[in-house]
Every structure is written in C-alpha cells, then in structure tokens.
Structure 1
Amino acid sequence: MPNHSSCEKAPIFIVGPPRSGTSLLSAIIGSHSNIACGPETDLFRALPLRDVEQIVTGENWCEKATERMEEIKYPDGKSIAAHFGLTRVQLSEHLSNQAASAKVIYSSIPAAFADTQGKARWAEKTPRHLFYVDEIRRVFPDAKIIRIIRDPRDSIPSVIKNIGLSASLVGEFYRWASVYAKSEPFFRKDPDSITIRYEDLVTNTEEQIASICDFIGEEFEPSMLDREGANLVRVASETWKSDIDKKITAQNVYGWRSNLDVDVARAASLICCEALEQLEYPDPIKPEKEVKVFPLGENFGVANESHIIDCAKKGYRYTAIGDTYPESMSEALDLYPDVLLGDLPLGKRPSIRVRRSMHAISRIIMRFLSRKPVIVDPDINLGVGALNRMIGKVALVFGTRKTFAN
C-alpha cells in the first residue's frame, strides 16, 4: 500500500537570497516533531518543469524520473537522494506507489525522507528556488512558502567570504537588488507566502517561530529552539553552515555599520534603496541623480565597481530599466533605444562570445547608419573581458556619448 503519511499537510518551501538565514530557519522548522527538512534539493532548477511534464506523460515514467534525479549531483559527486540518506531503490519504490504527476516527482525525495524520519510533513530549503516560486505554486497550489531576507549590507560580504560567487561587492549588491525586485511581486500578492527578516528571527526568536508555526498550521514547540534537525540540513561540503546549531545571537545584526567600508556601504544603500525602504532597514539613501541602463546585470557592477562607488559619493546611481535580462543581442541593443547601453550578454563559450560580439558591433554600426545611435557612457565598461572592451570602443565611435558622473 502507498505511504501517504508525508503528504497529509501542505509542503513548506524555504527560499531566500544566499546567506540570509535559510539554513538556520530550515534547522528550526526541521526540528519540529511533525516536520522533516533535509539538505537542498535544487530540483526546480536542476530538473525543469517542462522536462518533468514530459516524463510523467511518457512510458516508464518512474524509471525515467529516478534516473534523472540520480544524475543530479552535489559538488561532492553524491546524488541528491544520497545526501538525504536515500537509495535508488527507496526512491524508485516511493515513486512507483503513486500516480504519475509533477507533484509526485518534485516531492519524492523530501517526502521519502520524511517517511524515513517518521514525520508526517516535509519542508524543503533551497535558496535559489526563490527564482522558481511561480513553478512551485503551479505544482503545489497549497504549499506554504517562506522567504527569509537579511540586510544585503550584511549578507553580501558573507556571500563573498563564504560562498565565493563573486569577488565584487558592487556586482553582488546589484544582483541582490535584481533578485529582490523580481521576487517581490509574488510575495506581495500570494496569500500562502510570507517574508520574514533574519534580524527579527535572531532578536525575537521565539515570537517569530511561533508566528511561523501559526502560518504553517503547526503548534509551536520549544524544542525547535534547540535545532536538533541541524545535522539533517547541512552537508559536509557546505562548511559555511557549520554554525546553524550554535546559540542564536544578534551579534552580527547591522554589523555592516562597523565592518563595511563607508563608501561601499553608501553605494549599497543607493543600489538597494527601494528594497531597504520596503523592508524597513535603516539608512537607505535615495539617489540625487540616476540614469537608466539596459541591460544591467551583475557584470555591470563587476566591470565598473570603482566608478560606481565614486558616483555614489555624489549621490549618483546607475539603475536598471525593465526587470529582465536580454535574450539576444538584438534585444539588448534595440529594446530601449534611448537608454544608456549597459553590459552586454556574450555568454561563456568562446565561439558564442565571438559570434555575439560581431553581432553587437554590426548592430551598433547599423544603429549609427539609421541615425539612431546607441547611447554610451565613456566612463563605464560594457561588461568584463577583452571582447566587451572592444565593443565599448566601437560604441564610443559610432554611438552618442553621455557622461553621467559629471
């Protein structure tokens, strides 16, 4: 007979930017006597919904789903299921006991894990599932989604120190602001989602946990404060999670005031101004002057870090127009013809970068010939690398110069 014990209540998804407290929160929730929470699955990114929908409508769906999930590996080479202490046989048996659906596939690992823990409900924590909340809601219409946020002036230095996604503080502040802007409409409208601040969780822990329990429909248990579920949440390769079972402290709240360079802090407070205001964080800085840039991805901050910091000293800010990054060079150069040209998406493969560079140059020249030249700031770089610099030089020759900083 199929075991549906782990599906009686709505699943819980914990999402948020990196180093915002997702691991701490998952350890707390996973310590509830009724809820199991293991390591990150990353399934909505690693196993796209369109692929899952094809699997469930085809033959041998159970075997194909098991095989696809076994192919998804952690950086240490182990499969996701292995990190949950599940074998391929256990995963296959769990799937085979149920009717084919996307919901069954995405829940298979956390639900099977909950069964092994003898718990009736499961929670799943993957920070980057913040990008997939629409898909989560589509597959799990009754899911409870919790977004945890931390002041980016505290979380971003921690990201660079512990995870190493980038060495550029400014680039990461732009990334954080973009992620927040893209996810905010969902959490503003979705009735089964909440946002909590890390600062509130560590300064008023018991009250915050009680409020979360009320949201997910569980009784608050004082044992959640002890976080006995912490060992089930982390894996050995994620050394930055080693302290999630230590004493909860507010020692690092707003540590940026003393730890972050004053000019970098000012730039961050400008870049993230709207989000800081909405989240009621201290000291947002409204720009005295700003210019819209398209496209503006994380490479814009990386390539122009010192210049952006210098502009911030004057209260100036470059900001994105639109909430999407371009799909093609034509979009980047044509979608907003009267907006300052930002960093161009060339890709990672050398052959693709060369082809897109040639395309960008031809589009810039065509815009010049059609008397609609691109607008370019001579003080900024159009991304990182030699090809981006070459495109920038061409844009300065065939485009209209607009100096922003002066």
Structure 2
Amino acid sequence: MESGIDKIMPENAKGMFTIKSLVIHKVTFRFLFKYLLKRAVTKIEDWFFRPVRITVNTVFVVGCGHSGTTLLAAKLGRHNDILSIGKESNLFLPYKNSLYMSSRILAEWQDFALSDKKQCVLEKTPKHLYCVDRISKVAPDHKMVAMIRNPLDTVSSLNKRFHDLDLCIDRWINDNNQVLALAEKEQVLVVRFEDLTMSPEKVFGEVCRFAGLSYDPAILDAGETAYLDNETTSSNMRVRSRQVSRKITQNIDGWKASLSEDQARYVIQRTRVVAEQLGYALRDEPGGPLG
C-alpha cells in the first residue's frame, strides 16, 4: 500500500505539494524535483532485489509521530530476545533506499540477531506506515505494530516541534487514515497510546505474544534503552531517549498546557471523523473536549 509515497498531491498554497511519507509533508516544487529524481534512481535498483529468508521474527513499529512509537519500541527493545535497531533507519522509504539495498541491510540484521541468539528484530520508523507493500516484497512474513494516540495530545506535541498547527493536523489525519487502511491486516497490531500508559503490563504482554515472544516484565523497568542520548542523535530524539528511559506514567490531556480553547476546538473539528473511526469520542464542551 504505497499511496502517499508516489502519489504527489498539489496543495492549494501556490507552489506546494504533499508527499505523505515525509516528516514535513508539504514541499516546494524544487524539493519535489529532487525527490522524484532520487526515487527514479532507487526504482532502477529495485529490479535486482531478492526476498530475505526470514530466520527470526521481524517487527516494525509505525504510526504518526509523537504517538508513542519511540516509547513502545524502546521498552520492547529491552526484551532479552529482541535485537533492537535503536534508531529510525528509514530502511524502506523509497527515496532513501532501493529494495535491493533494503534487502541486504535486513539480511544483515537477521544475521546479527542469529549470532546474538535473538528471536526477533525490532525496528521503528513511523513513516514505514506507508511502506507495507515494499516491506512485504522483501520480508513477506514481517509484523507491524501501529501506534495511535488521540489527536489533541498528538497534535499539541507535534506543534511544539514544528510550530504549524495545520501541518500537524494534516499529518495526524494522513497517518491515521493510513493506520485505518492497515488495521484489518492479520500482520498488523494497532496499539492505543492511552492503553499503553494506563495498563503497560497488559499491552506489552499482548505485543510480546504478537511478536512471538514470552512476556518479560523487566522491559518496563526504568533504565537504558537502545535509543541512546548522544551527539549523533537529533535534538528531538535526544529528548525522546531520555523520556523513554524512565518508568511509564500516564500522559493524557497534556494538550491543555499548550493549546488554547479555540485551538483545541479547531483540532477537534478537523480530526473528528478519523478520530471517531479510531475509537476516540471528541466533545466540544470547554474544559473537556476529549471523551
């Protein structure tokens, strides 16, 4: 399912286009030209790939950014039977890697896991949400955990980073529409951030079973994860690496500290249809718009 990767959508704003698989999905024509050129090169290499013989389970964590993907991947990656990649590899994004290169790197991860006597390889790139077809060609037996989070908390968190409310709302809608498109697939497990933080033992137990592993309660302890805080990490991921090393606590309605009442109503208005399809009931009353 590659809608959003090669389907370029013109924006109403003059000279802007949307590519849903990009972190900042609104791009100029100049960027679009470079993107298409790079995509053309990787398409040539795509012809030479071979599917990877899967020797250990392979799990990809995806979802809209700031929905808890790093939290889930970091804690799950503490499991003794998991080889965690520990960074967003962008492995299957077509403008980053060809299928040929993706297959070679994934084969190396499989070898590393076997040599370490691990039963599972775990990777987290939120925008792999749009790469299911590409991943399936290389690793037909992969599994995918898709994180969702209510739009108010997600959009307010995104907005602290990008300072563009409409961009953040669009991203939440685009990415969660894609989650809805994938939700019925047998190889996809959808996890709510609110459930993860409210009942972490229960949710991680379900995720471990989905990944073909026994549950290890030690993954929830505070402590170092594969997402290290160092000088080579982006500023956003340095913040995340510190947050996910702590014990899990509930973090719901944090939007109230950064969104005004009018902004909250605007987010609700624009996201309501998708939010309700995901099971979130949004109310318009001041002081309590999230049901």
State the TM-score, normalizing by the size of structure 2.
0.70
Q: Deviations over 1:348-385 (max 9, x none)?
A: xxxxxxxxxxxxxxxxxxxxxxxxxxxxxxxxxxxxxx
Q: 1:156 touches 1:172 (CA, 8 Å); kept in 2?
A: yes
After the TM superposition, which segments of 4 or more aligned residues of structure 1 sit over 6 Å from their partners?
none
Distance, in Å, in 2 between the alignment partners of 1:15 and 1:40 is 10
Unaligned ranges ≥5, structure 1 = 1-5, 54-64, 66-101, 286-406
Q: Deviations over 1:181-223 (max 9, x none)?
A: 23421223x1110110111000011001111112112111111
Q: Deviations over 1:58-99 (max 9, x none)?
A: xxxxxxx5xxxxxxxxxxxxxxxxxxxxxxxxxxxxxxxxxx
Deviation at residue 31 of structure 1 after TM alignment: 1.2
Deviation at residue 109 of structure 1 after TM alignment: 4.9
Q: 1:30 touches 1:229 (CA, 8 Å); kept in 2?
A: no
Q: Deviations over 1:273-313 (max 9, x none)?
A: 1221122223256xxxxxxxxxxxxxxxxxxxxxxxxxxxx
Counterpart of 2:167 in structure 1 is 171
Distance, in Å, in 2 between the alignment partners of 1:173 and 1:47 is 24
Q: Deviations over 1:219-260 (max 9, x none)?
A: 111111126561x1245222221210112111x212224542
Residue 79 of structure 2 aligns with an amino acid whose one-letter code is H
Q: Which has the larger radius of gyration?
A: 1
Counterpart of 1:73 in structure 2 is none
SS in 2 for 1:11: strand
| Larger RCO (alpha carbons 8 Å, 6+ apart) | 2
Q: 182, 197, 200: which is aligned to 1:202?
A: 197
Distance, in Å, in 1 between the alignment partners of 2:112 and 2:90 is 15
Counterpart of 1:255 in structure 2 is 254
Counterpart of 2:3 in structure 1 is none
Distance, in Å, in 1 between the alignment partners of 2:158 and 2:210 is 29
Deviation at residue 47 of structure 1 after TM alignment: 5.8
Q: 2:99 touches 2:138 (CA, 8 Å); kept in 1?
A: no
Residue 201 of structure 1 aligns with an amino acid whose one-letter code is L
SS in 1 for 2:280: coil
Structure with a larger share of its residues in helix:
1
Distance, in Å, in 2 between the alignment partners of 1:136 and 1:41 is 13
Deviation at residue 106 of structure 1 after TM alignment: 4.1
Counterpart of 2:149 in structure 1 is 150
Counterpart of 1:192 in structure 2 is 187
SS in 2 for 1:202: helix
Q: Deviations over 1:27-83 (max 9, x none)?
A: 12111111111222111126667x334xxxxxxxxxxx5xxxxxxxxxxxxxxxxxx
CA RMSD across the alignment: 2.4
User: Measured at CA, do residues 46 and 240 of structure 1 come closer, stay the same or move farther in structure 2, by a change above 3 Å?
Assistant: farther
Unaligned ranges ≥5, structure 2 = 1-52, 285-291
Residue 227 of structure 2 aligns with an amino acid whose one-letter code is V
Residue 135 of structure 1 aligns with an amino acid whose one-letter code is R
Q: How does 1:4-403 map to 2 (within 5 A)?
A: 7-38=54-85, 39-45=87-93, 51-53=98-100, 65=101, 103=103, 105-115=104-114, 117-161=116-160, 164=161, 166-188=162-184, 190-226=185-221, 228=223, 230=225, 232-236=226-230, 237=233, 238-241=237-240, 242-250=242-250, 252-257=251-256, 259-283=258-282
Of 256-265 and 272-281, deviating more is 256-265
State the TM-score, normalizing by the size of structure 1.
0.51
